[in-house]
Homo-oligomer: A and B are copies of this chain.
Amino acid sequence: MVVDPRLSINQATIKYADLATALRVTQDAGVQAIGVWREPVHEVGLDVAARMLTDSGLRFTTHCRSGFFTMPEGPARRASIDDNRVAIEEAATLAAAGAPGSTAVLVLVAGGLVDGSRDLIGARERVREAIGELVPDAAAAGVQLAIEPLHPMYASDRCVVSTLGQALDIAADFDAATVGVTVDTFHIWWDRDVLASIARAGAEGRIATYQVCDWKTPLAADVLLSRHYPGDGVIDFASLTRAVEATGYDRDIEVEIFKEEIWATEPLEAVRRTAAGFAAAVSPHLLESRS
């Protein structure tokens, strides 16, 4: 099987693999890049994780994930900001440890409404303020923060930023090298403005990472776990991928799938199936390749 040279496996796709396993199966499948989650990095420690990444020869594409700063001022907010600063340092270290072509990107998920609150507008403003606090750290570390809009079904409990347009409006207050956006097909495919928003994101230099997975109904009982291999659902990867490519985006492209059935698959097999889905559904729409 030909593996697309721009494919990156987001570690969440093989959630139950530890970092060593994730790196090994990604290599073994012939994939050249990986997006990493914080928890498996913490399990081995950052320095060890960085060395393992270097030894793997893989490119590092994103560090997932941080954010969760919709709460009002107080100890919980301070703890979140501090933890985000740690995540920025982690992203910088891992990107430096990855193969040439790695990107120092930290994915940010805004967080939901705090308990008892109905104030979406206020929560969104606190997201903007938190990013403003983190920008100097990210700039100093050479890390691009990637605000990720999540599907509106997560607006109350996970992410008050629901569209790419919203994410871009928050990012607009900051330098594009430091604050970008995550373009994840699963979250934004339904948006009437999605192609225009992708074009805008590209024109503003803010596409930090392009992530692909598919949407299919019925949704899983836990709607967090409703993602599918590219091509198994209804998302039009042709129009979305071409729109991203048309902006000049030339970074790796992650597949990030949360799904019990895929997590129950042997990790190397899951990576191979991911690569096959990507090759069939996404690769034909890429303008250029690293190969």
Give the B-binding residues of A (Cβ under 8 A).
Answer: 113, 117-120, 124, 151-153, 155-157, 162-163, 165-166, 189-192, 215-219, 221-223, 233-236
Contacts and interface: CB of A to CB of B under 8 A. Distances in A.
Nearest to A115: B234
B120 A190 contact: yes
Nearest to A113: B234
Nearest to A160: B190
B162 A192 contact: yes
A234 B163 CA distance: 19
Contact of A236 (B118, B124, B157, B215): B118
Contacts of A235: 118
B192 A166 contact: yes
A219 B215 contact: no
Nearest to A156: B234
A223 B215 CA distance: 15
A189 B216 CA distance: 23
B222 A191 contact: no
Nearest to A124: B192
Given A113-B234, A120-B236, A223-B223, 17 more contacts: A117-B234, A118-B234, A118-B235, A118-B236, A119-B236, A120-B189, A124-B192, A151-B153, A152-B152, A152-B153, A152-B190, A155-B190, A156-B215, A156-B216, A156-B233, A157-B218, A163-B192
Contacts of A222: 218
29 contacts: A113-B234, A117-B234, A118-B234, A118-B235, A119-B236, A120-B189, A120-B190, A120-B236, A124-B192, A152-B152, A152-B153, A152-B190, A152-B191, A153-B153, A153-B219, A153-B223, A155-B189, A155-B190, A156-B190, A156-B215, A156-B216, A156-B233, A157-B217, A157-B218, A162-B190, A163-B192, A165-B192, A166-B192, A219-B223
A70 to B, nearest CB: 12
Contacts of A155: 189-190
Contacts of A151: 152-153
A259 to B, nearest CB: 16
Contacts of A119: 236
Nearest to A194: B120
A194 to B, nearest CB: 9
Nearest to A187: B152
Nearest to A221: B221
A91 B96 CA distance: 66
Contacts of A234: 113, 117-118, 156
A189 B118 CA distance: 10
A119 B215 CA distance: 14
A116 to B, nearest CB: 9
